[in-house]
């Protein structure tokens, strides 16, 4: 049995074993042959190696002359360079409950008493490594989420700041209405983002109950055109609804469906070139098909394939204020699938982008 972890499939886990007994170190080498094992014969030597190489895991014997394992563990936890390295304590002498409690209180991940069975050691080491890998991945996702959220908030807040600044200056009277609309649009975008995050979380947790009813797609498209009219005009673009038949209806949660289409049209306005954006809706078979189509530069395959990832930043920018669509499209995917539908993207460089979604009809 080998020791495996989710994030180390292409490399062997790096383990440091600290023990003054050469026979014990040789035994560990044989048992953990799937690991990249480094050996240290004393506490001070082990500390030096840990600080310089930062292993994935430390196996630490307690009963050592001079500096025992408890002292080494204290030193590891007191140093920022080694404070987060998981430590498994090994001992033949300190088997009492008080010693075990002391080791765990000092920050050991596991406390194993000798003689140790080879299979048990492999299992315990693998479990600690997997737990540590999961914690690191969660920390990375939190950092990515914070970065994405700040990134997506920056653009609308900058629009609000600019509009308010111009309104407080010497803006001509005929521009004031436009500036107020600009500030209002930015605030609406911020509110939409925050509400989308809340609803996305509720979808994740199964707490959002969809309020399904008949939704007039033509009216919904008209509201979206009205909402984005100023932005579309500023960017020399048009939003063209193509609903057939005109009284076509979806059986969906209107608030959620509106948020989905707002995200899709907003992304098209953000990334497409001047031209037309078409919002199409038709019945295909027993499903409602909705498309948002632009004639922009399109996406590279790697961007298209990861577009619905919650933490994926879109790298194409027309100016330094434009950024990612990870949060918005991730919500769209959650929302459509919560309705029992599916969503996807057809896009190629130089050929524009078509985002499509299918929703079940009322009687399907």
Helix (H) or strand (E) holding 238: strand 237-243
- pTM of the complete model: 0.56
Question: What average pLDDT does the segment 328-338 reach?
Answer: 88
pLDDT surpasses 70 at 22? yes
Q: Which two tokens stand for residue 137?
A: 């991945």
Expressed in percent and rounded to 5, the helix, strand and coil fractions of the chain are 50, 20, 30
pLDDT surpasses 80 at 362? no
Find where tokens 């000798």 sit.
114
Give pLDDT, residue 321.
Answer: 40
Domain spans, the chain: 14-137, 211-364
What is the third-level CATH fold of 14-137? Rossmann fold (3.40.50)
Instruction: Give the C-alpha separation, 204 to 145, whole Å.
Output: 15
Residues 117-147: pLDDT tens digits? 888 888 989 999 988 888 887 777 667 666 6
Kindly provide the b/e burial profile for residues 22-44, where b requires at least 16 CB atoms within 10 angstroms of the residue's own CB: eebbebbeebbebbebbbbebbb
Instruction: Give the C-alpha separation, 343 to 325, whole Å.
Output: 15
Which residue, among 153, 177, 155, has the nearest Cα to 166 in the 3D structure?
177
Instruction: Give the C-alpha separation, 163 to 125, whole Å.
Output: 58
Residues 5-15: pLDDT tens digits? 544 445 789 99
pLDDT surpasses 90 at 51? yes
| Residue 189 and residue 156 in contact, taking contact as beta carbons nearer than 8 Å | yes
- At residue 148 the predicted structure's pLDDT band, cuts being 50, 70 and 90, is low
Question: What average pLDDT does the segment 31-35 reach?
Answer: 89
Task: Return the bridge partners of 250, or none.
Answer: 215
What is the third-level CATH fold of 211-364? Heat Shock Protein 90 (3.30.565)
According to DSSP, the β-strands at 342-347 and 353-360 are antiparallel
Of 321 and 102, which is predicted with more confidence? 102
Question: In Å, what is the CA distance from 258 to each residue of 225, 249, 254?
Answer: 12, 13, 6
Give pLDDT, residue 322.
Answer: 42
pLDDT surpasses 80 at 159? no
């Amino acid at each position: 049995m080998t020791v495996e972890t989710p994030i180390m499939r292409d490399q062997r886990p790096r383990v440091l074993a600290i023990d003054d007994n050469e026979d014990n170190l040789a035994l560990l080498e044989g048992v953990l042959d799937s690991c990249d094992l480094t050996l240290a014969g004393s506490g001070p030597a082990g500390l030096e190696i840990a600080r310089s190489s930062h292993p994935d895991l430390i196996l630490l014997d307690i009963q050592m002359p001079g500096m025992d394992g408890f002292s080494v563990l204290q030193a590891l936890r007191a140093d920022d360079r080694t404070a987060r390295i998981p430590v498994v304590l090994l001992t033949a002498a300190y088997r009492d409950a008080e010693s075990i409690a002391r080791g765990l209180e000092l920050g050991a991940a596991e406390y194993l008493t000798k003689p140790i069975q080879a299979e048990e050691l492999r299992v315990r080491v693998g479990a600690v490594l997997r737990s540590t890998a999961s914690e690191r991945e969660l920390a990375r996702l939190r950092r990515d989420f914070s970065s994405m959220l700040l990134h997506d908030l920056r653009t609308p807040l900058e629009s609000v700041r600019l509009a308010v600044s111009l309104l407080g200056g010497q803006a001509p009277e005929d521009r004031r209405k436009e500036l107020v609309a600009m500030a209002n649009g930015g605030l609406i975008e911020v509110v939409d983002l925050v509400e989308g995050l809340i609803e996305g979380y509720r979808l994740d947790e199964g707490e959002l109950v969809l309020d399904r009813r008949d939704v007039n797609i033509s009216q919904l498209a008209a509201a979206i055109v009205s909402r984005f009219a100023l932005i579309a005009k500023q960017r020399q673009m048009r939003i063209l609804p193509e609903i057939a038949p005109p009284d076509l209806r979806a059986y969906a949660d209107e608030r959620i469906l509106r948020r989905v289409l707002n995200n899709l049209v907003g992304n098209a306005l953000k990334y497409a070139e001047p031209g037309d954006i078409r919002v199409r809706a038709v019945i295909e078979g027993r499903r409602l098909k909705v498309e948002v189509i632009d004639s922009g530069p399109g996406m590279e395959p790697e961007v298209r394939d990861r577009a619905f990832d919650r933490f994926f930043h879109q790298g194409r920018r027309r100016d330094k204020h434009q950024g990612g669509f990870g949060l918005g499209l991730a919500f769209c995917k959650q929302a459509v699938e919560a309705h029992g539908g599916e969503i996807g993207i057809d896009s190629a460089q130089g050929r524009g982008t078509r985002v499509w979604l299918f929703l079940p009809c009322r009687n399907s």
